[in-house]
Amino acid sequence: MQSHGVLTFVERPPGDASMIESQWVLGRKLLANSQTAKWKVRPVGRGDQQKPGDYNDITSPVIDSASVRLALGLAAKHDVEIAVPDIPPAFLSCRLQETLYMRLPDGEWPDDPYC
């Protein structure tokens, strides 16, 4: 990840900068016969630990399932068609303006973090 310019290792964040905790996410690639081709692992930031006021109050809005059931029930009762546009999440490919600091997850790490 460092060779791709995604991250830079630092000893400590400057001043009172807050750090995001992280955890390992495991995944696997499957062959056509459902056998494991290879395992993949990556550290990801835990966004569930974001505090109000951090990172310009970025949130992820979620709709309540009761609201969806109500809308579908009303549409069925009044014989109305429902169209749902597929909107790609723009935040996945945007560049961040802020500098974020992430604590590496627990586990075995080599002595040289750049290897």
Q: Which of 93, 23, 92, 102 is nearest to 60 (CA)?
A: 92
73 has pLDDT over 90: yes
113 against 90, higher pLDDT = 90
pTM of the model: 0.44
Whole-number pLDDT of residue 115: 39
Mean pLDDT is highest, among 2-11, 75-84, 103-112, for 75-84
114 has pLDDT over 50: no
Sign of the CA dihedral running 5, 10, 13, 18? positive
Q: How far is CA 32 from the centre of its chain?
A: 28
Band (pLDDT 50/70/90 cuts) for residue 75 is: very high
% the chain with pLDDT above 90: 11
**CA pair distance 89, 91, nearest whole angstrom:** 6
